[in-house]
Amino acid sequence: MVLTPASFGGVVLGAFPDVSLNLIAAAIGGTAVWLATKAGRRLRLLRARRFWKAMGSRKPLLVLGAPDFEPITRYEPTGMVGKGDILALVEIESQLRELGFKGRIVESKELNSQDMRSDLVLIGGPDGNSVTATMMGNLGGAISYEFKWEPGIGPAVHDRLSGTAAAVPRYDKAGDPASDFGLIIRTVNPLAPETAEIVILAGCWGYGTAAAAEKLRDRKFLRKQRKSRHFEALVETTVVRRAHYNAKVRDTREITPAD
C-alpha cells in the first residue's frame, strides 16, 4: 500500500479523535488527583487547626528545657538540648506556621510568673524540663500517666490507675533504646484553668518526645480526638540506629475537668 498525501491525511484525521479522548481522559484524571490531594490536605489542616485554634490564636509559648548540670555547662555555658526535643520543637513550630499561627520559643528557666499562667507547649519530660515537672505535679489526679524511674531499667511511663509500669522502653544488646514511649497531654493550665491551656509532649527519651509531636500531624489521630478537647495519649515508637519510626498511639484517655 502506498500512502498518498490524501490518504495520509485521512489516517491522521482518523486517529485524532482517539488522541483527543486520551488527552481529555488524562486531563480529567490529573484534575481528579489534584482535587483529591488538595481536599485531603485541607481536611488535614482543618483538623489540625481545630486542635490548635484556641491556643494558636493566643500565641503560645514553646517551652524547651535546658538542664544546668555542671558537666554540661562546662562544655557549653548556654546549655544543651537533646536532639529529640529539637525535632519536636521544629515539628510543632512547622505545624503552627502552616496554620497561620506563631509561637514564641523560650527556655524553661526564663519563664516568669505571668508566663506560667499563659498558653504553653511544653517539650520534654519532667527530668529535663522543669515547667513540665511543675505542671504535671499541679495536675495531680487529673492525669493518669506519669514518668517514673525503674531501677535497673531507666525511665518508664506509669499508670496511676493500675499502679503499674504501663510502658517500659526496650533496649538492644549495646544498651541503646530499641523502642520509646511518649505522652501527649492537652488540658487546662492548672495555674490559670479559666484562661489558658497546656500541651505536654514528653518521652521517656527524646525519641518519644519527637514521636509525640509528630503524632499531632496525624489526621486519623486528630479525628479520633475531635470530641475530646482535653486528653492524654500514650505513644509508642520504634528506634533503629538512634532514629525513631512508626509512631503509634497505644491508648488515649479523656481528661475531665476537676470539680
Please give the full DSSP string across 75-98, using - where no structure is assigned. Answer: H-TT----HHHHHHHHHHHHHHHH
Please, which residues have CB within 8 angstroms of residue 184's CB and are 6 or more apart in sequence? 199, 200, 201, 212, 215, 216, 231, 232, 233, 235
Entry field: residues in the chain: 259
Mean pLDDT along residues 81-108: 93
The answer to whether 87 and 38 are in contact (CB under 8 A) is no
- DSSP reduced 3-state for 69: coil
What pLDDT, on the 0 to 100 scale, is given for residue 8?
47
Q: How far apart are CA 42 and CA 233, in angstroms?
A: 25
Q: Which three cell numbers stand for residue 50?
A: 481545630
Find, among 211, 183, 182, 205, the residue nearest to 87 by Cα: 211
Q: Which amino acid is at 151?
A: P
Unique residue bearing C-alpha cell 528545657: 65
What pLDDT, on the 0 to 100 scale, is given for residue 78?
67
The string of pLDDT tens digits covering residues 28-53 is: 766 666 555 544 445 446 667 888 98
The answer to whether 203 and 212 are in contact (CB under 8 A) is yes
The string of pLDDT tens digits covering residues 228-256 is: 889 999 999 999 999 999 999 999 999 98
Q: Is the pLDDT reported for residue 151 higher than 80?
A: yes
Identify the residue with better confidence: 144 or 1: 144
Q: Which three cell numbers stand for residue 254?
A: 479523656
What average pLDDT is seen over the chain?
85
The string of pLDDT tens digits covering residues 173-194 is: 999 999 999 999 999 999 999 9
For residue 123, which phi and psi values (nearest 5 degrees)? -110, 120
| Residue 6 banded pLDDT, cuts 50, 70, 90 | low
Q: How far apart are CA 188 and CA 35, in angstroms?
A: 38
Residue 214 buriedness (CB in 10 A; 0-12 / 13-18 / 19+): buried
Parallel, antiparallel, or unpaired for β 61-64 and 120-123? parallel
Domain boundaries defined on the chain: 44-254
The string of pLDDT tens digits covering residues 81-91 is: 889 999 999 99
Identify the residue with better confidence: 96 or 48: 96
Q: How far apart are the first and last CA of the chain?
A: 94
CB-CB neighbours of 244 under 10 Å: 24
What pLDDT, on the 0 to 100 scale, is given for residue 27?
66
